[in-house]
């Protein structure tokens, strides 16, 4: 039986769970859920805090490297630091958003309904119960 936080997902097929409630459950899955990992890969595991921590480590390493460069001779210059590896963001080039920007799956919320038209208020009311 499929269960998520004590909710039987088969209840949607039995008409005991509304489509709206199911949508809310799926939209608010935890960041590290199997669905988010499948859809977004390693990117889903990195929070804002992780990105800030990686940036702080990179800046500290760069500052230490600059200090070492200034205070060493011409012959013994240290190698520049290697940045902390971060997850790949293939969408960054495609949509022009910077890495880490909030993105939504292209098919998560369709712009139009069947036939290329926006859903009517009645259709929306039926869907969201």
pLDDT in tens, 26-68: 888 887 788 888 887 777 778 888 889 999 999 999 999 999 9
Greatest alpha-carbon span in the chain: 76
Tell me the domain boundaries of the chain: 1-30
State pTM to two decimals: 0.49
Tokens encoding 86: 């971060």
Contacts of 89 (CB under 8 A, 6+ apart): 43, 99, 100
- For the cut 80, the answer to whether the pLDDT of residue 109 exceeds it is no
- For the cut 50, the answer to whether the pLDDT of residue 119 exceeds it is yes
Cβ–Cβ contacts within 10 Å for residue 45, how many? 13
What is d(CA 21, CA 18) in angstroms, rounded to the nearest whole number?
5
Which pLDDT belongs to residue 110?
46
């Amino acid at each position: 039986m499929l269960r998520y936080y004590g909710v039987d997902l088969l209840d949607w097929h039995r008409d005991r769970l509304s489509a709206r409630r199911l949508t809310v459950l799926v939209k608010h899955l935890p960041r590290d859920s199997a669905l988010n990992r499948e859809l977004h890969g390693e990117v889903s595991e990195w929070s804002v805090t992780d990105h800030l921590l990686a940036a702080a480590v990179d800046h500290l390493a760069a500052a230490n490297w600059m200090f070492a460069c200034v205070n060493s001779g011409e012959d013994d210059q240290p190698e520049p630091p290697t940045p902390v590896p971060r997850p790949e963001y293939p969408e960054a080039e495609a949509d022009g958003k910077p890495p880490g920007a909030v993105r939504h799956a292209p098919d998560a919320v369709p712009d139009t309904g069947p036939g290329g038209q926006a859903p009517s208020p009645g259709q929306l009311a039926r869907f969201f119960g």
